[in-house]
Amino acid sequence: MYPTLFNLVLSKLDPERAHHLAFLVIRALPALGLGGLARRFTAPDPSLAVEALGLRFDSPFGVAAGFDKDGEGVLGLGALGFGHVEVGTITAIAQPGNDTPRLFRLIPDRAVVNRMGFNNHGAGAAANRLLRVRRARRRPVLGVNIGKSRVVAVEDATADYLTSARALAPVADYLVVNVSSPNTPGLRGLQELDLLAPLLGAVKEVAGEKPLLVKIAPDLTDEQVQRIAELVVRLGLAGIIATNTTIAREGLRTDPAVVAAAGAGGLSGAPLAARSLEVLKLIRASVPAELCVISVGGVETAEDVQERLDAGATLVQGYTAFLYRGPLWGRQINRGLLRLRRALVEA
């Protein structure tokens, strides 16, 4: 039914408004006591569980940062079958994000352009909310993604990240440093090694024993990807998330006028799949087998997820296809993974 609902109703709504409406339903599941009922229908088979980062993930498939910016829907998303939820990006200072409209669908490409700009209520508010989430009896693994506050100069970025890390590391199962969004001026410059190394080293010290990962852009050169992978190993970080959205626009099927009207921002969805897979393979070839590599970008089907796992991903995340697949997307992925694995055993 969801494809019909999307084509007839949701695709006609402003994308950000449609997201908010869907999010209200997700938040309502545990609030109305329906989480347990939903979980019976969506829970992944125990055989799909993954041990990583010193944690148990019920499924290798989770929700990428950007979908739940303030950690308000973690329990609802967990009830829909996702093995982990990465909230954020959260900044030390609350900020409204960029002006609207700032989210655009490219439906022929099953893609989205966003320039949200890290809209969130700040690290302090998120920490209080996530502390309550951690106390829940049933919840998914909780990742927290932190970024630079827009009003903070790039040269002061480390102190800003440390403020967020101090507030949020205690309530996270793992922590992510986001230096790869194209929607905060100067942020991607922090991927340069002379800036990235001291930043990650400082955040790692504050995070303590909490697993720390870094999220990188798909628009880096292969050499840059390999150098960051080597840096992550040298600093003793727990892993890498690859990749964020892209600023590229090549090869799109959507009317060029529609793409131009969407304007600047990060492109996510199916067009990102090939580069995201390439970056995953580059990283896996450059790091020890035990390093956690989370693949995200252009994932929509169980076959897509299994392809990333076969290419060396420890875990896989998705976001954009939620808009096109609907609330049972996590269940579809988990059921599909189980079917693929059973078919492999029987072959």
Burial of 285 (0-12, 13-18, 19+ CB in 10 A): exposed
Decide if 270 contacts 110 (C-beta within 8 A). yes
CA 165 from centroid of its chain's CA atoms: 18
CA angle 307, 308, 309 (to 5 degrees): 90
Question: CA 304, CA 322: separation in Å to the nearest integer?
Answer: 14
Q: Which segments within 115-271 are labelled E, that is strand?
A: 141-146, 174-178, 212-216, 239-242, 266-269
Burial readout 136-168 (b: 16 or more C-beta within 10 A, e: otherwise)? eeebbbbbbbbbbbbebeeeebbebbbbbbebb
Question: CA 24, CA 303: separation in Å to the nearest integer?
Answer: 30
Selected catalytic residue, list 181, 268, 276, 295:
181
Question: CA 200, CA 179: separation in Å to the nearest integer?
Answer: 10
Decide if 92 contacts 165 (C-beta within 8 A). no
Decide if 337 contacts 305 (C-beta within 8 A). yes
DSSP-assigned states of every residue in 232-278: HHHHT-SEEEE---B---TT--S-HHHHHHH-SSEEEEGGGHHHHHH
Whether 276 is a known active-site residue: answer no
Residues recognised as catalytic = 181
